[in-house]
């Protein structure tokens, strides 16, 4: 190479990766448009959504760095804080609920922390912007002006938080021992993997539900480790306590100061905050934090059970607009002959004015979609080969992977490029074993540093050499309060994937203690040594002679009834369904659901206040609603003449509304009854809908049970 370089009389080419700072994962349409252009002109033609709600641009040549960085800064973003021994991108649930005070607070405080702990030195601007200020103020600044963070940053309580450094009052001259990661969420929503962060916070509201009372705080989480070095380990965060809203920033500053002054600066592999918390114990660490704060923390406020939400599919924002979560396998936003995701996103940004939210699971939520644009947006997605979430299998939906080869210098083997293959093979094995309705969180990394959070997964494959992986088991399905455990399988060849997981699935199938006991919970309950003993004694294929502990749970909806639909209406529905590439039954379900949500149905007025509950917060309203719809339809239908043409409801998987699986067998049946009734007797439709929405209970709605239907 040296001879060739001398002969060509040119320098070697270097390429770089640029990671943006994207608080809350918020990417306005204008920023995405610029990133799309930059990746085409200066990168490798794609973007990578990360596990911390940011975008990465790969393949930027050294000579183009300044142009790319300056362009990003001048559109209101930057790459400042994406890397280094400082606070990194701050995560929060990737949702847009402008009328939900808890979610709004989580987003505002996340942006505030990102700004509070940004480096104050002007060196970045001097190098990349020639000392000039960016042409556009960072787009998140408008949401945090009320916090007056310049005053918060320099406020000195006299207990050692402020260093006295003229430029960096909090970080000081040497910044932090290593990178620092933060996240904020609301009770119940663990879409951010709260327990993997150095510091995590949970918004606690006052009883009025409108104002913030304070925050629960966790400390000491982290994923990075090194193979065969037991002094390095993955760790789930501990509960530190509760702080009032007025003390929150001072508490965060105190935690940063404790890590700054007491973190390990001698051994870099043990420099993260998790090792300090592990060494001192959470009580000892709390004592230090309280010393820097100058006051005591309060006890942890009890919380509801965590749920690992991904916010895929359609959701109401609560302001009359919609958001749509789309699965991005392994976070790669690119164009291929089969899937033109990058062009699709650009078309939606340009033609429909959507903005983006990047999720902690490497996917994307499109927000600010007008209800009237819903079918058009879906059509654009289908035109570009992008699947709606109902078309994505559960294994793929719950999987993530790091980039690994060929983009990461630390990688030992493949991750992103083999994750789709791993997903397909795991799914095939489950189906072969009669477990098609089971799923789990699975993650793959190319090395042990843990960028894809493998140690929190129910089953994970951690690269340990070329085409071999260490197997981890036992993480929580809700990513809560524990890590998985390493098995003795250190070098599993990818060719032996099926043979390795078959005995694990067989034991789970035969010994689970409940039909819905998750794989991670099962492995945690019985212990990895017991799983390994079972694997050692297992004979391939012997699952066929093992009785399952419980019959498979069939989550598919079976046809349970036929209803009358006028022939001319059915012909129109079938024609339109064929044009949309869907079944007539699915289209009828969609039409009625959309009508009920406020686009012209006689019953829309009565439903608006009922269904648009708490600005998108999890709720079971649809379940009660559809039971009453079923009962009303049953009461009305026997007394009405029906058209001779019958339409049989097609089987469908459960749909998700909020985070509630709400497609019992009677839902589609009920709406078809109501549609048929409205079509045949429009004069009675309004009173029928009125009785549906005015009913306070199932009993009031009809004298018969849903079982009778």
CA pair distance 374, 314, nearest whole angstrom: 9
Domain range 313-396, CATH architecture: Alpha-Beta Complex (3.90)
pLDDT (0 to 100) of residue 577: 78
- Torsional class of 388: left (φ above 0), alpha (ψ -120 to 50), beta (otherwise): beta
**What is the average pLDDT across 378-402?**
97
Q: What percent of the chain has pLDDT over 90?
A: 74
pLDDT (0 to 100) of residue 601: 35
Q: Tell me how far CA of residue 16 lies from CA of 42, 59, 281, 285, 412, in angstroms.
A: 11, 6, 39, 38, 19
Average pLDDT taken over every residue of the chain: 85
Does the pLDDT at position 41 exceed 60?
A: yes
Token pair, residue 588, equals 């009828």
**Under CATH, domain 413-545 is a member of which superfamily?**
Sulfite Reductase Hemoprotein, domain 1 (3.30.413.10)
**What is the average pLDDT across 462-470?**
98
Does the pLDDT at position 606 exceed 50?
A: no
Q: Measuring CA to CA, which residue among 551, 475, 541 is closest to residue 510?
A: 551
Q: Tell me how far CA of residue 466 lies from CA of 225, 277, 341, 491, in angstroms.
A: 18, 34, 30, 9
pLDDT (0 to 100) of residue 446: 98
pLDDT (0 to 100) of residue 611: 29
pLDDT (0 to 100) of residue 675: 57
Q: Can you give the length of the chain in residues?
A: 709
Give domain limits for the chain: 83-123+135-293, 313-396, 413-545
**What is the average pLDDT across 377-383?**
97
pLDDT (0 to 100) of residue 631: 44
- DSSP structural state of residue 299: P
Q: What is the pLDDT of residues 270-323, one digit of tens each?
A: 999 999 999 999 999 999 999 999 999 999 999 999 999 999 999 999 999 999
**CATH code given to domain 83-123+135-293:** 3.30.413.10
Q: Measuring CA to CA, which residue among 371, 390, 410, 415 is closest to residue 612?
A: 371
In degrees and rounded to multiples of 5, residue 485 shows phi and psi of -125, 140
pLDDT (0 to 100) of residue 345: 99
3-class secondary structure, 514: coil
Q: What is the pLDDT of residues 430-462, one digit of tens each?
A: 999 999 999 999 999 999 999 999 999 999 999
3-class secondary structure, 406: coil
Q: What is the pLDDT of residues 523-560, one digit of tens each?
A: 999 999 999 999 999 999 999 999 999 987 554 444 43
CB atoms within 10 A of CB 575: 11
pLDDT (0 to 100) of residue 674: 56
Name the more confident of 582 and 374. 374
pLDDT (0 to 100) of residue 622: 40
pLDDT (0 to 100) of residue 639: 38
pLDDT (0 to 100) of residue 685: 52
The two domains 83-123+135-293 and 413-545 share their CATH topology (first three levels equal):
yes
- Least trusted range by pLDDT, from 128-137, 274-283, 478-487: 128-137
Q: What percent of the chain has pLDDT over 70?
A: 79
**What is the average pLDDT across 470-495?**
97
Does the pLDDT at position 662 exceed 60?
A: no
Name the more confident of 680 and 397. 397
> Is 116:252 a contact under the CB 8 Å cutoff?
yes
């Amino acid at each position: 190479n040296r001879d060739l370089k001398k002969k060509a009389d040119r320098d070697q080419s270097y390429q770089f990766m640029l990671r943006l700072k994207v608080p809350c994962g918020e990417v306005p349409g204008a920023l995405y448009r610029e990133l799309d252009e930059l990746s085409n002109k200066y990168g490798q033609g794609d973007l990578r959504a990360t596990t911390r709600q940011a975008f990465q641009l790969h393949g930027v040549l050294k000579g183009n760095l300044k142009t790319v960085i300056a362009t990003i800064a001048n559109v209101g973003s930057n790459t400042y804080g994406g890397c280094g021994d400082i606070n990194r991108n701050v995560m929060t649930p990737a949702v847009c609920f402008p009328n939900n005070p808890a979610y709004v607070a989580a987003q505002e405080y996340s942006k505030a922390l990102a700004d509070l702990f940004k480096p104050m030195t002007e060196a970045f601007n001097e190098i990349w912007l020639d000392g000039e200020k960016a042409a556009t103020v960072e787009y998140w600044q408008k949401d945090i002006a009320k916090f007056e963070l310049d005053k918060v940053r320099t406020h000195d309580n006299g207990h050692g938080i402020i260093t006295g450094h003229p430029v960096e009052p909090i970080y000081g001259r040497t910044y932090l021992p290593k990178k620092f990661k933060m996240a904020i969420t609301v009770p119940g929503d663990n879409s951010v993997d709260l327990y993997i962060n150095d510091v995590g916070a949970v918004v606690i509201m006052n009883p009025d539900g409108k104002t913030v009372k304070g925050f629960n705080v966790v400390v000491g989480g982290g994923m990075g480790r090194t193979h065969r070095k037991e002094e390095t380990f993955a760790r789930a965060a501990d509960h530190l306590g509760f702080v009032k809203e007025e003390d929150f920033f001072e508490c965060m500053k105190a935690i940063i100061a404790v890590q700054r002054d007491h973190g390990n600066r001698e051994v870099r592999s043990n420099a993260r905050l998790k090792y300090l918390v592990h060494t001192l114990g959470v009580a000892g660490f709390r004592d230090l934090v309280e010393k820097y704060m100058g006051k005591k923390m309060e006890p942890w406020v009890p919380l509801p059970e965590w749920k690992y939400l991904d916010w895929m599919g359609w959701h109401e924002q609560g302001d009359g607009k919609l958001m749509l979560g789309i699965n991005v396998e392994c976070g790669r936003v690119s164009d291929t002959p089969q899937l033109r995701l990058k062009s699709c996103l650009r078309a939606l940004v340009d033609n429909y004015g959507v903005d983006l939210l990047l999720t902690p699971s490497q996917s994307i939520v499109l927000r600010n979609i007008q209800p009237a644009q819903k079918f058009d947006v879906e059509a654009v997605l289908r035109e570009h080969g992008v699947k709606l979430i109902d078309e994505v299998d559960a294994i793929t939906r719950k999987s993530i992977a790091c980039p690994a080869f060929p983009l990461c210098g630390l990688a030992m083997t493949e991750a992103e490029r083999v994750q789709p293959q791993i997903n397909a093979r795991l799914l095939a094995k489950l189906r072969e074993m009669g477990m098609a309705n089971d799923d789990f969180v699975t993650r793959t990394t190319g090395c042990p540093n843990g960028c894809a959070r493998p140690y929190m997964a129910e089953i994970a494959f951690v690269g340990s050499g070329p085409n071999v992986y260490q197997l981890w088991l036992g993480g929580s399905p809700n990513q809560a309060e524990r890590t998985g455990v390493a098995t003795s399988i250190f070098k599993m060849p990818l060719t032996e994937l099926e043979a390795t997981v078959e005995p694990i699935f067989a034991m789970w199938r035969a010994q689970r203690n409940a039909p819905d006991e998750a794989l991670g919970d099962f492995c945690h309950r019985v212990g990895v040594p017991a799983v390994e003993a079972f694997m050692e004694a297992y004979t391939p294929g012997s699952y066929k002679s093992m009785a399952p502990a419980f019959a498979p749970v069939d989550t598919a909806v079976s046809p349970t009834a036929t209803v009358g639909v006028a022939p001319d209406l059915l012909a129109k529905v079938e024609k339109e369904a064929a044009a949309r590439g869907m079944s007539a039954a699915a289209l009828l379900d969609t039409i009625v659901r959309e009508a009920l949500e406020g686009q012209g149905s006689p019953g829309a007025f009565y439903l608006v206040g009922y269904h648009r509950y708490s600005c998108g917060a999890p709720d079971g309203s649809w379940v009660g609603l559809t039971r009453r719809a079923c009962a009303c339809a049953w009461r009305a239908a026997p007394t009405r003449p029906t058209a001779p043409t019958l339409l049989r409801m097609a089987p469908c998987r459960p749909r998700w509304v909020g985070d509630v699986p709400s497609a019992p067998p009677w839902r589609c049946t009920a709406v078809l009854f109501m549609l048929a009734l409205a079509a045949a007797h429009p004069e009675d439709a309004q009173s029928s809908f009125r009785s549906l929405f005015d009913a306070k209970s199932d009993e009031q709605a009809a004298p018969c049970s849903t079982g009778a239907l």
